Amino acid sequence: MAYLFTSESVSEGHPDKVADQISDALIDNFLAFDKDSKVACETLVTTGQVVLAGEVKSHTYLDVQKIARDTINKIGYTKGEYMFDGNSCGVLSAIHEQSDDINRGVDRASKEEQGAGDQGMMFGYATNETENFMPLALDLSHRILKELADLRRENEDITYLRPDSKSQVTIEYSDDNIPQRIDAIVVSTQHDDFGDDDTMLAKIRKDIVEILIPRVVTKLPEAIQKLFNDSIKYHINPTGKFVIGGPHGDTGLTGRKIIVDTYGGKGAHGGGAFSGKDPSKVDRSAAYATRHIAKNLVAAGVADEILVQVSYAIGVVEPMGIFIDTYGTCPFNMTDGEIAVKVSQIFDMRPFAIEDRLKLRAPIYSETAAYGHMGRVNEIVTKTFSQPMGETITLDVELFTWEKLDYVDKVKEVFGL
């Protein structure tokens, strides 16, 4: 019997994502001037106020208030009527030195013997139902909000948009787990107050269905375009009005959108957030490494769908173990346990090896903090950073290295494919 599956996304202007982006902007600035920085930074945003808290070990000094304000302005919170804007909000910093008790388990005389920055389990997932090996419902949810943000910044076809928004896509699957059609799309977008409630709602619904969705569809592969139909149930601003939003409408915290950040409810999640953490925290680095493994395995033909789990003990170099679940989609005679053994032979999962393989000690994290950490485009960009002492640095950095298919040939060789 056919079944429905749903995933959601939230925009860069969602309060929790504002917090994530500030935390990751701090990470990038610390790493730009001191690549060995150890940082765990949490952010809280609410009406007219930002609170920064966390632990840092670094040889650089930053103007954290300016970094927070610049991030908020870049997102689009630039007007006093939003009750939260980068130029006027208060910024309180309660960042302090990292605990020596934690650091002693991470730093070692030999970098190769670096211990894990925390205990826990991390998951990576990949499926061949999309070109970027991501679950389709989440991929579409992200695409809708990225296109909505583009429309907001263009300020031409739709002129009333504000930064905060959410999306949700429900897809009907067949018994053999093949997407059949899109059943429902939910879009809630913050907007200017430009008329009576009924007039605003009618205008917003028309623009979302007739402008936004067609722009999304035209950028999709033909096979995915065919899943869109005239029977889709649209729920546009279901409450009828969404003028009050952003941190004024709802307090935001770093790390509260971990399912949006990963696989939209597909696969599994170990519970650890990513944003605000330097790569010595395996919550982040090992989650990227397991995504890298899963994606290369699926691309190599080991299975149509794969979940990879790795686990660590704080201060211990080697992982506790690697687990593989192919959901019965492996096309050749090999158990998941046998696949896990071969995976451990191909991929070095020691914390330093992950950092080195994926080039994680670089300022690459601001781009991850909205629209998902997985399924993104691997590219090299140029970024410039400045600090209060007058030093400016420009770096070429490689984004989303964990999305590279650079181990496909090696996987095929080891598995005899």
pLDDT tens-place string over residues 344-354:
999 999 999 99
Distance CA 354, CA 39 (A): 17
**For position 404, what pLDDT does the model report?**
98
Longest CA pairwise span in the chain (Å) = 67
| Residue 101 pLDDT greater than 80, yes or no | no
Cα pseudo-dihedral 344, 356, 256, 73, rounded to 10:
-160
Distance of CA 382 to the CA centre of its chain: 20
Q: What is the mean pLDDT of residues 168-176?
A: 96
pLDDT in tens, 326-345: 999 999 999 999 999 999 99
**For position 110, what pLDDT does the model report?**
62
* 80 C-beta neighbours (distance < 10 Å), count: 10
Q: What is the mean pLDDT of residues 236-262?
A: 97
Sign of CA dihedral 331, 336, 342, 344: positive
33-to-77, 361, 363, 390 alpha-carbon distances in Å: 27, 11, 9, 12
Which residues of the chain does CATH 3.30.300.10 include?
Answer: 3-9+136-244, 120-127+279-415
Q: What is the mean pLDDT of residues 45-71?
A: 96
**What is the average pLDDT score of the chain?**
95
| Residue 112 pLDDT greater than 70, yes or no | no
| Residue 56 pLDDT greater than 90, yes or no | yes
Binding annotation for K(+): 42
**For position 100, what pLDDT does the model report?**
66
Topology (CATH) of 3-9+136-244: GMP Synthetase; Chain A, domain 3 (3.30.300)
pLDDT level of residue 102 (50, 70, 90 thresholds): low
Q: What is the mean pLDDT of residues 97-122?
A: 70
Binding annotation for ATP: 14, 164-166, 241-242, 250, 256-257, 273, 277
Q: Which DSSP category does 176 fall into?
A: T
Binding annotation for L-methionine: 55, 98, 250, 281
pLDDT level of residue 116 (50, 70, 90 thresholds): confident
Place of tokens 């980068």: 86
From start to end of 174-256, where are the E strands?
Answer: 179-191, 233-236, 252-253
Calculate what percentage of the chain has a pLDDT beyond 90: 92
Q: What is the mean pLDDT of residues 145-166?
A: 98
Binding annotation: 14, 16, 42, 55, 98, 164-166, 241-242, 250, 256-257, 273, 277, 281
Q: Are 163 and 155 in contact (CB under 8 A)?
A: no
Answer with the residue of higher pLDDT: 1 or 33.
Answer: 33
Q: What is the mean pLDDT of residues 377-383?
A: 98
* 179 C-beta neighbours (distance < 10 Å), count: 20
Written out in words, the top-level CATH class of the domain with range 120-127+279-415 is alpha beta
Binding annotation for Mg(2+): 16
Calculate what percentage of the chain has a pLDDT beyond 70: 96
Q: What pTM was computed for the model?
A: 0.95
Nearest to 6 by CA among 121, 172, 207, 188: 172
